Structure 1
Amino acid sequence: MATNGETKENQAGRHQEVGHKSLLQSDALYQYILETSVYPREPAPMKELREVTAKHPWNIMTTSADEGQFLNMLLKLINAKNTMEIGVYTGYSLLATALALPHDGKILAMDINRENYEIGLPIIQKAGVAHKIDFKEGPALPVLDQMIEDGKYHGTYDFIFVDADKDNYLNYHKRLIELVKVGGLIGYDNTLWNGSVVAPPDAQLRKYVRYYRDFVLELNKALAVDPRIEICQLPVGDGITLCRRIS
């Protein structure tokens, strides 16, 4: 929904790319990044999955192509091998992760909707990385609680990516901080939440944006003062906050 100050001309020029949530000053600048740096290097399976996802009615839920590229490189830089993803959708970020991991790398992937995951699964299989993925359908919190209770998973994950129900982000964090290793990373997606984190009280916001904004604000405040982590909030996609566990 456009704000009061946005003209019809600006509305017409808004970028329509699937997964586009960029906070850059212009859509032309975002398009430049995509066409110059992202799309020419995007692996064929990721391009195929992005195009398939574009046909889905909820395609705004997908990870943007520039963020997918960022995650892929980040995982290679930290030599990640054992990872987790909460919130999968059709699997674009999951595929970016799977392609970055070594052949014996593993991803525990959780989502409440297997049907969406199965949209991307044939492409993931064709890419030869499906063996790295252990997909679990259903709420993630009970699974995390069981893992913590088991004890053997403490500090075993190199990287954890969260792009799921924003009202549970703090609940996830309370558990994930125990499961990620010291020196490992947790990435929380959508931490700038369509720019709504700085929107004035009378701003015209979509209903779901307004509803989840307070949860995102609460998360951001909590992460900023958590002594167990170092953080870096990046304006990539819809905002991603990286948390490096230090204790």
Structure 2
Amino acid sequence: MSETSETLVLVERHAGYRVLVLNRPDRLNAFNEPLHLALRAALGEAAADPDCRALIVTGAGRGFCAGQDLSARNFAPDVEPDLTRTLEAFYNPLVRQIRDLPMPLICAVNGVAAGAGASLAFHGDLVLAARSAKFLQAFAKLGLIPDAGGTWLLPRLAGRARARGMALLAEPINAEQAEAWGMIWRVIDDADLMAEAHRLAAHLASQPTYGLALIRRALDASETNDLDAQLAVESELQGEAGRTPDYREGVAAFLEKRPARFTGRRR
């Protein structure tokens, strides 16, 4: 089957959430330019749908995402590759789009996540990994540096020493290591991975979606703020959260001792 935007990212619609499946299983779902465009389009459509209040991203076949498809690199002998263009045209916009999503993102890592594929997984708000999954920063084997936000993510997730070990040695770590190091939310038995991802997505889809997006903004800001700056961020974002109908509904549900019926709306 020829690759089209419809086949490169499969979209499953469920009540309150969507599942996006990277679908180049013969290439371990490695990125080429059409896959970038298809994923960004699918993310944009989900973000624009007020009924979509959570997202799952996973991979078809035995891998999550093997990073850049190196078979797409055709080097002319007299032309230097322009990887700056690749990052600025494809990877960086994708990362920014993911970080700006108005709903939580669950990454269900069903197999190998390598290079930019590992970075994609780590950008998830909640990362579930099958017990057989592995994470690999393979850039050093090509003389490159981690990208797609990898140099920003690794020290924050794993700490300075582990980040350098992963980046410099390019050795895979398994799902249990990633969980023990605090890099992912949870390891799940392979057979149960997607069921748990669906359970979490259904739960998140019933929650105050805009408030959850504000939580992400606050936590992201804390990575570089000192305490005073972060207190200011909390004041601003808590003010926004307090003006949502979901805050009123949450308080009313608490006082009336009943389950809350959140809409996820900003206004």
Q: TM-score range by the shorter chain?
A: under 0.3
Larger of the two Rg values belongs to structure:
2
TM-score (norm 2): 0.26
TM-score, structure 1 length as denominator? 0.27
